[in-house]
Amino acid sequence: MPQDDINRQAFKEEAYDLLGELESALLELEENPRDQELIDRVFRAMHTVKGSGAMFGFDDIAAFTHDVETAFDKVRCGELPVTRELLDLTLRARDHILELLGDTTGTRAGSAQAKAIIAGLRGLAGAAGGQDAAPADPASAAPGQDEALAAASGGEAVTYRVRIRPGRDIMLCGTNPLALLAELRDLGAGQVAAHIGEVPPLSELEPEGCYVWWDVILATDKGEDAIRDVFIFVEDDCEVTIQVIDTLGALEGDSTYKRLGEILVERGDISADDLRRVLGEQPRLGDMLAEAGVVSREQVESALAEQAAVRRIRKDRDEQATASSIRVAADKLDDLVDLVGELVIVQAQISQMVSTRGDQELTTLAEELERLSDELRDSTLSVRMLPIGTTFSKFRRLVRDLSAELGKQIELKTKGAETELDKTVIERLNDPLVHLLRNSIDHGVEPPDVRRAAGKDPCGEILLCAEHSGGEVLITIRDDGKGMDPASLRAKGVERGLIARDADLTDKELFSLIFAPGFSTAQKVTSVSGRGVGMDVVKRGIDALRGSIDVDSRPGEGTTITIRLPLTLAIIDGLQVQVQDEFYVVPLSLVEECVELIQSPEERRREQQVLNLRGAIVPYLRLRDWFDIPGAPPEIEQIVVTGVEGQRVGIVVDHVIGEHQTVIKTLGRVYRDVEGLSGATIKGDGSMALILDVPRLVRIAAEARG
């Protein structure tokens, strides 16, 4: 940000000035060691350099200046005399700060010279006795900073009763009680009841005093901490009590809120006895209580207001819950999807049959049927799709707690929270993602001081990203931590007997070693990870979802983990193809185009199988060869050009039949591990076609080719 640079530049100029002034003050101080004004000038210069330095990111200068400031603070208070030694050290310190200002690489911060100066100063200051405050940590408790904290404590909407009793003199400090109430209202829906019972008659009223106090019924999902934060400046001048009076869970119970008497007793406004006594008589409890002088009219009204407010909140909540969503058992949805699948198959059969009849009316009806079943298909499948965002928000809390536990500063950024995935896929992704995040936090991102020493921002970042790409969902976890070292992975792999000593592996292959069972390079086992059972379980989980997981890393810079999942919609649009007598389906979303391929037998035998597609080189593979289908190919073959992972690959088949609505049926346990197939389907004529797992196919073929 340019403004940051402007600020830094401004600070540098100011610092140069201050250091110049500092030098002259110190020299003058040598002549007049007791001049208080000079001492103050020196102290202020140090204080400003330190304070402003920290503000604009010059942490090394701030940290170094801290000790000088401490020493001169003691001088200011008369605890430490101005000696030759002190002045020497301070002048040297000043020189060092000058160096730090000019030095942009930050390498000299820990130099021996700096250490000597600090040691000397500490020696002097320590001799004067007293405690030194630790250097200021940028993570200080200014309000508004810890929004993550507040959010983490929140979640569900809870109704609180907040009783605010400001001290009489609260306004003399410039506090506006109305501002406090407004800030509370920012947190959620609130009902304020004011108590003016203590306002004295005009003759006794001090106009600058605050005699009013308030009850606020507040429904918020931000958590109790957020409510307390509102009163952070007035903790000493204002009595604040917060009570939870209603939570979402209470929805199941009785929908009528407490009775007036209960509320008053709960608040301590009346005693249970008083309540009972007065109840012995008759109507309008509130009136009677007020008349009996047991409670003020306002307190009654305030309690009635609470009752009305909570009743209303509950009613709203009820309505909302019924209006916007319904709970449905997951297996009912599964049944529905199955039925829709069957319907689509039959519809395809009808369409097929109708096309051969040539009956105009029938054809029109069949087309209408096809359109409707398409819509039904899409609609039903989308019912099971949920945005992955809810999973992402759960992780914020995890990252926050875990990084705090390990003494690290880590920020979780997310992208693509609206990306939708099938409900079961999201559920089954949860554990692997949790483990991967824990890994990044535990082993990936370094502690703040290590990061600072490496010239990185002390606060690490983990980016969690989800997006649709082709027929897949891509989920990436990227951290800017210390990355993985291929060499040490290799060593561990050899040690664990997973690879041969002389095996020649690419970096990528070495990174994939982390998924092998029993592999773990963590030196010690933490409560979080390091037991060597994590990553292989993650891989198995992803495999079970028919996805794939990739790791890329750069030592010192970070690690990126990419999970690919097929968009396992139960019904997809497919392109039906034929090789000999076998039929296959290619997911239409992956198909870019089809071209003809005419080759002589000699050309066919050549190793290099690439196609020149309008100037671009597109490699291809032959399904016939891949699946070992006997027979000879026709003279003119077809290449289905697919786009996978940004790469184009051609699949050579005999014929391209056409578009086909494909209901995915799983192949059953026996065939599940066959490489290259992701399922099967029933064609319009009732026979079977196999669905190609194109990304997998392509990847394996690429690897086989080497």
Partner 1 sequence: MSQLIMTVDDSASVRQMVNFTLKNAGYDVVEASDGKDALSKLSGPIKMVITDLNMPNMDGITLIKNIRANPAYKFIPIIMLTTESQATKKQDGKAAGATGWIVKPFKPDQLLAVVKKVLR
Choose which of 27, 55, 116, 127 interacts with partner 1 (CB under 8 A): 55
Could you tell me how far CA 202 lies from the centroid of its own chain?
57
Binding segment toward partner 1, per CB under 8 A, in 176-184, 294-302, 324-332, 539-547: 176-184
Q: Taking CB under 8 A as the rule, does residue 143 contact partner 1?
A: yes
**Please, what is the minimum distance in Å from the beta carbon of residue 458 to partner 1?**
13
**Please, what is the minimum distance in Å from the beta carbon of residue 175 to partner 1?**
6
Q: CA 70, CA 75: separation in Å to the nearest integer? A: 9
Binding segment toward partner 1, per CB under 8 A, in 178-186, 317-325, 435-443, 612-620: 178-186
**Please, what is the minimum distance in Å from the beta carbon of residue 404 to partner 1?**
19
The residues, any chain, with a CB within 8 Å of residue 483's CB and separated by 6 or more, are: 444, 553, 554, 555, 556, 557, 558, 559
Q: CA 381, CA 569: separation in Å to the nearest integer? A: 7
Q: Which is nearer to partner 1, 48 or 153 (CB)?
A: 48
**Please, what is the minimum distance in Å from the beta carbon of residue 208 to partner 1?**
8
Q: Which is nearer to partner 1, 172 or 383 (CB)?
A: 172
**Please, what is the minimum distance in Å from the beta carbon of residue 55 to partner 1?**
4
Amino acid at 706: G
Structure tokens at 326: 């319904």
Choose which of 21, 30, 35, 48 interacts with partner 1 (CB under 8 A): 48
In the range 58-77, which residues lie near partner 1 by CB under 8 A?
A: 62
Binding segment toward partner 1, per CB under 8 A, in 78-86, 166-174, 220-228, 343-351: 166-174
From the list 176, 175, 179, 213, the residue with the least C-alpha distance to 193 is 213
**Please, what is the minimum distance in Å from the beta carbon of residue 234 to partner 1?**
8
Q: Taking CB under 8 A as the rule, does residue 136 contact partner 1?
A: yes
Structure tokens at 458: 């002390």
Binding mask 199-238 for partner 1 (x = CB under 8 A): ---------x---------------------x-xx--x--
**Please, what is the minimum distance in Å from the beta carbon of residue 502 to partner 1?**
54
The residues, any chain, with a CB within 8 Å of residue 157's CB and separated by 6 or more, are: 188, 219, 220, 221, 248, 317
Q: Which is nearer to partner 1, 182 or 533 (CB)?
A: 182
N-term to C-term CA, the chain? 46
Q: Read out DSSP for 613-644?
A: ETTEEEEEEEHHHHTT--SPPPSEEEEEEEEE
Binding segment toward partner 1, per CB under 8 A, in 49-57, 154-162, 277-285, 571-579: 49-57
3-state secondary structure 511-572: HHHHHCCCCCCCCCCCCCCCCCCHHHHHHHHHHHCCCEEEEEEECCCEEEEEEEEECCCCEE
Q: Taking CB under 8 A as the rule, does residue 2 contact partner 1?
A: no
The residues, any chain, with a CB within 8 Å of residue 541's CB and separated by 6 or more, are: 428, 429, 431, 432
- Residue matched to tokens 């010192």: 556
Choose which of 65, 90, 159, 175 interacts with partner 1 (CB under 8 A): 175
Choose which of 31, 137, 281, 635 interacts with partner 1 (CB under 8 A): 137
Q: Which is nearer to partner 1, 236 or 673 (CB)?
A: 236
Choose which of 145, 256, 382, 527 interacts with partner 1 (CB under 8 A): 145
**Please, what is the minimum distance in Å from the beta carbon of residue 133 to partner 1?**
3
Could you give the count of Cα atoms lying within 13 Å of 386 in the half-sphere of its Cβ?
13
Q: Which is nearer to partner 1, 140 or 203 (CB)?
A: 140
**Please, what is the minimum distance in Å from the beta carbon of residue 10 to partner 1?**
4
**For the chain, percent helix, then strand, then coil, each to nearest 5?**
50, 20, 30
Long-range Cβ contacts of 613-618 (<8 Å, 24+ apart): 613/641, 613/648, 616/648, 618/648, 618/649, 618/650
Widest Cα–Cα separation across the chain: 114
Q: CA 175, CA 169: separation in Å to the nearest integer? A: 9
Choose which of 104, 105, 112, 140 interacts with partner 1 (CB under 8 A): 140
**Please, what is the minimum distance in Å from the beta carbon of residue 62 to partner 1?**
8
State the DSSP code for 665: B
Q: Taking CB under 8 A as the rule, does residue 141 contact partner 1?
A: yes
Q: Which is nearer to partner 1, 10 or 525 (CB)?
A: 10
The residues, any chain, with a CB within 8 Å of residue 72's CB and separated by 6 or more, are: 39, 42, 43, 46, 90
**Please, what is the minimum distance in Å from the beta carbon of residue 141 to partner 1?**
7
* C-beta neighbour count of 19 within 10 angstroms: 17
**Please, what is the minimum distance in Å from the beta carbon of residue 592 to partner 1?**
47
Q: CA 574, CA 693: separation in Å to the nearest integer? A: 12
Q: Is there a contact between 29 and 82 (Cβ–Cβ < 8 Å)?
A: yes
Structure tokens at 143: 């309000």
C-alpha distance from residue 467 to each of 229, 563, 637 (Å): 37, 11, 35
Q: Which is nearer to partner 1, 131 or 506 (CB)?
A: 131
Q: Which is nearer to partner 1, 136 or 406 (CB)?
A: 136
Q: Which is nearer to partner 1, 39 or 575 (CB)?
A: 39
Q: Which is nearer to partner 1, 55 or 272 (CB)?
A: 55
Q: What 3-state DSSP class applies to 143?
A: coil
**Please, what is the minimum distance in Å from the beta carbon of residue 140 to partner 1?**
4
**Please, what is the minimum distance in Å from the beta carbon of residue 155 to partner 1?**
22
Q: Taking CB under 8 A as the rule, does residue 129 contact partner 1?
A: no
Q: Which is nearer to partner 1, 136 or 417 (CB)?
A: 136
Binding segment toward partner 1, per CB under 8 A, in 54-62, 152-160, 342-350, 547-555: 54-62
Q: CA 164, CA 295: separation in Å to the nearest integer? A: 18
**Please, what is the minimum distance in Å from the beta carbon of residue 126 to partner 1?**
16
Q: Which is nearer to partner 1, 459 or 594 (CB)?
A: 459
**Please, what is the minimum distance in Å from the beta carbon of residue 187 to partner 1?**
12
Residues paired with residue 638 on neighbouring β-strands, in sequence order: 596, 653
Q: CA 188, CA 184: separation in Å to the nearest integer? A: 7
Q: Which is nearer to partner 1, 99 or 183 (CB)?
A: 183
Choose which of 129, 174, 280, 706 interacts with partner 1 (CB under 8 A): 174
Choose which of 27, 77, 172, 292 interacts with partner 1 (CB under 8 A): 172
Q: Taking CB under 8 A as the rule, does residue 393 contact partner 1?
A: no
Binding segment toward partner 1, per CB under 8 A, in 50-58, 308-316, 454-462, 556-564: 50-58
Choose which of 22, 29, 38, 52 interacts with partner 1 (CB under 8 A): 52
Helices marked H in 133-231 — which ranges? 147-153, 177-187, 224-230
The residues, any chain, with a CB within 8 Å of residue 394's CB and separated by 6 or more, are: none
Q: CA 665, CA 571: separation in Å to the nearest integer? A: 9
Q: Taking CB under 8 A as the rule, does residue 396 contact partner 1?
A: no
Q: Which is nearer to partner 1, 170 or 510 (CB)?
A: 170
Number of residues in contact with partner 1 under rule CB under 8 A: 45
Q: Which is nearer to partner 1, 180 or 569 (CB)?
A: 180
The binding site for partner 1 (CB under 8 A) comprises 3, 6-7, 10-11, 13-14, 40-41, 44, 47-48, 50-52, 54-56, 62, 133-134, 136-138, 140-145, 171-176, 178-179, 182-183, 208, 230, 232-233, 236
